[in-house]
Amino acid sequence: MIKTMNSKTLFTNLGLIDYKEAWDFQEQKFEEVVATKLKKRENPQSNTGTLHHLIFCEHPHVYTLGKSGEHANLLITDDLLKKIGATFYKINRGGDITYHGPGQIVGYPIFDLEEMGLGIKEYIHNLEKAIILTLAELGIASSRLDGATGVWLDANDASKARKICAIGVRASRFVSMHGFALNVNTNLDYFRYINPCGFIDKGVTSIAVELGPEQSLPQIESLLLKHIQQVFNLNLLNDQ
Protein backbone atom coordinates (compact mmCIF):
# COMPACT_ATOMS: atom_id res chain seq x y z
CA MET A 1 0.00 0.00 0.00
CA ILE A 2 1.12 3.56 -0.68
CA LYS A 3 1.83 5.55 2.46
CA THR A 4 -0.55 8.39 3.24
CA MET A 5 2.24 10.94 3.00
CA ASN A 6 2.47 13.07 -0.14
CA SER A 7 5.79 12.29 -1.80
CA LYS A 8 7.52 15.55 -2.75
CA THR A 9 8.29 15.15 -6.45
CA LEU A 10 9.97 17.53 -8.88
CA PHE A 11 8.41 17.36 -12.35
CA THR A 12 10.66 18.22 -15.30
CA ASN A 13 9.66 18.28 -18.96
CA LEU A 14 12.82 18.03 -21.06
CA GLY A 15 11.00 18.30 -24.40
CA LEU A 16 12.69 16.67 -27.40
CA ILE A 17 16.06 15.43 -26.17
CA ASP A 18 18.74 12.97 -27.30
CA TYR A 19 18.32 9.60 -25.60
CA LYS A 20 21.83 9.47 -24.13
CA GLU A 21 21.53 13.01 -22.80
CA ALA A 22 18.26 12.10 -21.05
CA TRP A 23 19.81 8.87 -19.73
CA ASP A 24 22.70 10.86 -18.21
CA PHE A 25 20.19 13.26 -16.64
CA GLN A 26 18.29 10.31 -15.18
CA GLU A 27 21.50 8.84 -13.75
CA GLN A 28 22.32 12.15 -12.07
CA LYS A 29 18.91 12.39 -10.40
CA PHE A 30 19.03 8.70 -9.48
CA GLU A 31 22.36 9.20 -7.69
CA GLU A 32 20.94 12.20 -5.82
CA VAL A 33 17.95 10.18 -4.57
CA VAL A 34 20.18 7.26 -3.54
CA ALA A 35 22.58 9.62 -1.72
CA THR A 36 19.68 11.12 0.25
CA LYS A 37 18.45 7.62 1.08
CA LEU A 38 21.85 6.52 2.41
CA LYS A 39 22.25 9.68 4.50
CA LYS A 40 18.87 9.06 6.10
CA ARG A 41 19.91 5.50 6.96
CA GLU A 42 23.10 6.77 8.59
CA ASN A 43 21.17 9.42 10.52
CA PRO A 44 17.62 8.15 11.17
CA GLN A 45 16.80 11.27 13.20
CA SER A 46 17.39 13.51 10.19
CA ASN A 47 14.42 15.51 8.92
CA THR A 48 15.80 15.52 5.39
CA GLY A 49 13.02 14.52 3.02
CA THR A 50 13.51 12.71 -0.26
CA LEU A 51 12.93 14.72 -3.41
CA HIS A 52 11.60 12.26 -5.98
CA HIS A 53 11.71 13.08 -9.69
CA LEU A 54 9.30 12.64 -12.60
CA ILE A 55 10.66 13.40 -16.05
CA PHE A 56 8.69 13.68 -19.30
CA CYS A 57 10.37 13.97 -22.69
CA GLU A 58 10.41 12.94 -26.34
CA HIS A 59 13.35 11.35 -28.13
CA PRO A 60 14.61 11.38 -31.70
CA HIS A 61 14.27 7.95 -33.32
CA VAL A 62 15.99 5.40 -31.09
CA TYR A 63 15.78 1.70 -30.24
CA THR A 64 16.65 0.51 -26.74
CA LEU A 65 17.28 -3.06 -25.64
CA GLY A 66 16.82 -4.15 -22.04
CA LYS A 67 19.45 -6.18 -20.20
CA SER A 68 17.55 -9.44 -20.67
CA GLY A 69 16.53 -8.71 -24.26
CA GLU A 70 17.58 -10.48 -27.44
CA HIS A 71 19.61 -8.48 -29.97
CA ALA A 72 17.93 -10.60 -32.67
CA ASN A 73 14.73 -8.64 -31.99
CA LEU A 74 16.37 -5.70 -33.79
CA LEU A 75 15.58 -6.77 -37.34
CA ILE A 76 17.82 -4.41 -39.30
CA THR A 77 21.53 -3.85 -39.94
CA ASP A 78 23.60 -0.93 -38.68
CA ASP A 79 23.57 0.55 -42.20
CA LEU A 80 19.77 0.54 -42.37
CA LEU A 81 19.62 1.93 -38.85
CA LYS A 82 21.61 4.94 -40.07
CA LYS A 83 19.49 5.20 -43.22
CA ILE A 84 16.27 5.59 -41.22
CA GLY A 85 17.92 8.13 -38.90
CA ALA A 86 17.76 6.00 -35.76
CA THR A 87 20.23 5.06 -33.03
CA PHE A 88 20.49 1.96 -30.83
CA TYR A 89 21.38 1.51 -27.15
CA LYS A 90 21.63 -1.55 -24.93
CA ILE A 91 20.61 -0.33 -21.50
CA ASN A 92 20.15 -1.48 -17.90
CA ARG A 93 16.37 -1.62 -17.61
CA GLY A 94 14.21 -4.73 -17.65
CA GLY A 95 12.30 -5.83 -20.72
CA ASP A 96 13.29 -6.44 -24.32
CA ILE A 97 13.52 -4.04 -27.27
CA THR A 98 11.38 -0.99 -27.82
CA TYR A 99 11.27 2.16 -29.93
CA HIS A 100 11.17 5.81 -28.90
CA GLY A 101 10.51 8.69 -31.25
CA PRO A 102 8.81 12.03 -31.79
CA GLY A 103 5.14 12.12 -30.88
CA GLN A 104 5.61 9.72 -27.99
CA ILE A 105 5.42 10.68 -24.30
CA VAL A 106 8.33 9.06 -22.49
CA GLY A 107 8.17 9.14 -18.70
CA TYR A 108 11.05 8.50 -16.30
CA PRO A 109 9.95 8.32 -12.64
CA ILE A 110 12.88 8.31 -10.21
CA PHE A 111 11.08 7.31 -7.05
CA ASP A 112 12.33 5.95 -3.74
CA LEU A 113 9.91 3.04 -3.79
CA GLU A 114 10.80 2.03 -0.25
CA GLU A 115 9.80 5.44 1.09
CA MET A 116 6.59 5.27 -0.94
CA GLY A 117 5.81 1.84 0.49
CA LEU A 118 5.84 0.15 -2.93
CA GLY A 119 7.26 -3.10 -4.20
CA ILE A 120 8.41 -3.25 -7.80
CA LYS A 121 5.33 -5.17 -8.99
CA GLU A 122 2.97 -2.70 -7.33
CA TYR A 123 4.99 0.17 -8.78
CA ILE A 124 4.59 -1.19 -12.33
CA HIS A 125 0.92 -1.93 -11.63
CA ASN A 126 0.41 1.72 -10.63
CA LEU A 127 2.18 3.04 -13.73
CA GLU A 128 -0.16 0.92 -15.83
CA LYS A 129 -3.15 2.16 -13.82
CA ALA A 130 -2.27 5.83 -14.39
CA ILE A 131 -1.98 5.24 -18.13
CA ILE A 132 -5.23 3.23 -18.27
CA LEU A 133 -7.03 6.08 -16.47
CA THR A 134 -5.55 8.64 -18.87
CA LEU A 135 -6.67 6.67 -21.91
CA ALA A 136 -10.14 6.19 -20.42
CA GLU A 137 -10.49 9.96 -20.07
CA LEU A 138 -9.73 10.18 -23.80
CA GLY A 139 -12.37 7.57 -24.58
CA ILE A 140 -10.00 4.64 -25.17
CA ALA A 141 -10.65 1.40 -23.28
CA SER A 142 -7.37 -0.30 -22.35
CA SER A 143 -6.11 -2.91 -19.92
CA ARG A 144 -3.22 -5.11 -18.89
CA LEU A 145 -2.24 -8.29 -20.73
CA ASP A 146 -1.45 -11.40 -18.69
CA GLY A 147 2.23 -12.24 -18.87
CA ALA A 148 3.28 -8.88 -20.31
CA THR A 149 3.94 -5.42 -18.90
CA GLY A 150 2.52 -2.29 -20.47
CA VAL A 151 -0.94 -1.18 -21.52
CA TRP A 152 -2.89 -2.90 -24.27
CA LEU A 153 -6.05 -2.54 -26.34
CA ASP A 154 -8.27 -5.57 -26.96
CA ALA A 155 -6.00 -7.59 -24.68
CA ASN A 156 -8.50 -10.47 -24.52
CA ASP A 157 -8.57 -10.95 -28.29
CA ALA A 158 -5.32 -12.50 -29.54
CA SER A 159 -6.05 -11.44 -33.12
CA LYS A 160 -6.58 -7.78 -32.17
CA ALA A 161 -4.33 -7.23 -29.13
CA ARG A 162 -2.05 -4.23 -29.64
CA LYS A 163 0.22 -2.31 -27.30
CA ILE A 164 -0.23 1.42 -26.84
CA CYS A 165 2.24 1.93 -23.99
CA ALA A 166 5.48 0.07 -23.23
CA ILE A 167 6.93 -0.15 -19.72
CA GLY A 168 10.49 -1.10 -18.83
CA VAL A 169 12.01 -0.22 -15.48
CA ARG A 170 15.07 -0.70 -13.34
CA ALA A 171 15.20 -0.51 -9.55
CA SER A 172 18.41 -0.39 -7.50
CA ARG A 173 18.37 0.17 -3.73
CA PHE A 174 14.59 0.36 -4.30
CA VAL A 175 14.98 3.53 -6.38
CA SER A 176 13.40 3.39 -9.83
CA MET A 177 14.75 4.42 -13.23
CA HIS A 178 13.53 4.29 -16.84
CA GLY A 179 9.76 4.00 -17.13
CA PHE A 180 7.13 4.11 -19.87
CA ALA A 181 6.56 5.20 -23.46
CA LEU A 182 3.01 6.16 -24.49
CA ASN A 183 2.35 6.30 -28.23
CA VAL A 184 0.45 9.49 -29.05
CA ASN A 185 1.33 10.70 -32.56
CA THR A 186 4.12 8.15 -32.96
CA ASN A 187 5.25 7.04 -36.42
CA LEU A 188 4.42 3.35 -36.06
CA ASP A 189 6.41 2.43 -39.18
CA TYR A 190 9.53 2.35 -36.98
CA PHE A 191 8.11 -0.65 -35.10
CA ARG A 192 8.39 -2.69 -38.31
CA TYR A 193 12.13 -2.95 -37.74
CA ILE A 194 11.85 -4.72 -34.37
CA ASN A 195 9.90 -7.39 -32.53
CA PRO A 196 8.41 -4.92 -30.01
CA CYS A 197 9.14 -6.06 -26.45
CA GLY A 198 10.13 -9.41 -27.93
CA PHE A 199 6.64 -10.21 -29.29
CA ILE A 200 6.32 -11.48 -32.85
CA ASP A 201 2.53 -11.88 -32.82
CA LYS A 202 1.30 -8.62 -31.27
CA GLY A 203 0.70 -5.24 -32.87
CA VAL A 204 1.26 -1.67 -31.72
CA THR A 205 -0.99 1.35 -31.92
CA SER A 206 -1.16 5.00 -30.91
CA ILE A 207 -3.74 7.43 -29.58
CA ALA A 208 -3.81 9.16 -32.98
CA VAL A 209 -4.52 5.88 -34.77
CA GLU A 210 -7.36 5.07 -32.37
CA LEU A 211 -8.97 8.52 -32.27
CA GLY A 212 -8.26 9.93 -35.70
CA PRO A 213 -6.43 13.22 -36.28
CA GLU A 214 -3.16 14.26 -34.71
CA GLN A 215 -3.53 14.68 -30.97
CA SER A 216 -2.40 17.53 -28.71
CA LEU A 217 0.71 16.25 -26.95
CA PRO A 218 0.61 18.96 -24.22
CA GLN A 219 -3.03 18.13 -23.44
CA ILE A 220 -2.31 14.42 -23.06
CA GLU A 221 0.83 15.13 -21.02
CA SER A 222 -1.35 17.19 -18.66
CA LEU A 223 -3.89 14.38 -18.28
CA LEU A 224 -1.17 11.81 -17.72
CA LEU A 225 0.57 13.96 -15.14
CA LYS A 226 -2.72 14.38 -13.28
CA HIS A 227 -3.32 10.66 -13.07
CA ILE A 228 0.26 9.80 -12.08
CA GLN A 229 0.02 12.41 -9.32
CA GLN A 230 -3.23 10.90 -8.05
CA VAL A 231 -2.24 7.23 -8.28
CA PHE A 232 1.12 7.74 -6.55
CA ASN A 233 -0.11 10.46 -4.16
CA LEU A 234 2.56 12.94 -5.24
CA ASN A 235 3.14 16.46 -4.01
CA LEU A 236 4.26 17.85 -7.37
CA LEU A 237 6.70 20.70 -7.78
CA ASN A 238 7.23 22.10 -11.26
CA ASP A 239 10.76 22.62 -12.57
CA GLN A 240 9.75 25.16 -15.19
Question: Is there a contact between 186 and 59 (Cβ–Cβ < 8 Å)?
Answer: no
Residue 229 carries which DSSP code? H
Q: Within 13 Å, how many C-alpha atoms sit on residue 81's CB side?
A: 14
CA 36 to chain CA centroid, Å, is 24
**CB-based burial of residue 43 (10 Å sphere; 0-12 exposed, 13-18 middle, 19+ buried)?**
exposed
Going by C-alpha positions, the residue among 121, 124, 109, 113 that lies closest to residue 175 is 113
Active site residues: 197
